[in-house]
Amino acid sequence: MELEADHARALAKSSQARKRRRAELLLIGAGVAATLIAAAYQYVGIRSTLESSTAASLYAQQQEIDRIFMENVDLQPYFWRRQELPDPAAAHNAAGKLEAQQLAARAEATAHRILDHFAHLKYQMGMQAFTSERADWEAYMRQSFAESLILCRALWADRESFGGNGSDSLWGRYAEEPCRGM
């Protein structure tokens, strides 16, 4: 009888140990689930904050470019109407030649500012920013190249600085087609 009692006590202890172990596993599982849920919420929050910061940075750059065109209205036709810059050699006097050279220098500097902006935008889209606005930004970049010979030429002349001319470069993705035949 004593053996049976010991066996019954051992079974009871074993059953209690299994119940405790199940309870511990449930608590551990609940803790893991809560941690994963909290991490998912944190990820969404961090992602939202990063996208918001990225958007603010890119929109600030876009506003800076807009400001350049508001302060330099004479540059607009060379970026928005595919107009050619005047040839300094065709100027009839030294003042006209200097004016054409200065216009070309300002246009080239503006083109490089825009190219830097486009490179940053392309990078951010590659990092999965602007997933919902991507098509709009890509259309904007293609249209910018289509409307500006100076922008096409500036990128072509310095394409190695912007990823070369492969299919994933700034040239290959956005400029090659609209700049064809420049």
Let me know the angle formed at the C-alpha of 31 by 25 and 32, rounded to the nearest 5 degrees.
Answer: 90
**Structure token pair of residue 14:** 């074993």
Tokens of 136: 């709009």
pLDDT digits (tens, 9 = 90+) for 62-117: 999 999 999 999 999 999 999 999 999 999 999 999 999 999 999 999 999 999 99
The Cα 159–Cα 182 span in angstroms is 15
Global pTM reads 0.75
Return the axis-axis angle of helices 94-126 and 149-157, rounded to nearest 10°. Answer: 70
**Has residue 50 got a pLDDT over 80?**
no
- Identify the pLDDT of residue 7: 66
Reported as a single tens digit per residue, the pLDDT across 129-170 is 777 788 999 999 999 999 999 999 999 999 999 999 899 999
Residues 58 and 122: their CA atoms lie apart, in Å, by 11
How many residues make up the chain in this entry?
182
Listed in sequence order, the DSSP H helices in the chain are 2-71, 76-80, 94-126, 134-146, 149-157, 170, 176-179
For residues 54 and 44, give the distance between their C-alpha atoms in angstroms, rounded to a whole number: 15
Which pLDDT does position 10 carry in this prediction? 67
Amino acid at 132: S
Amino acid at 59: Y
- Which pLDDT value is given to residue 177? 95
Token pair recorded at residue 90: 């065709």
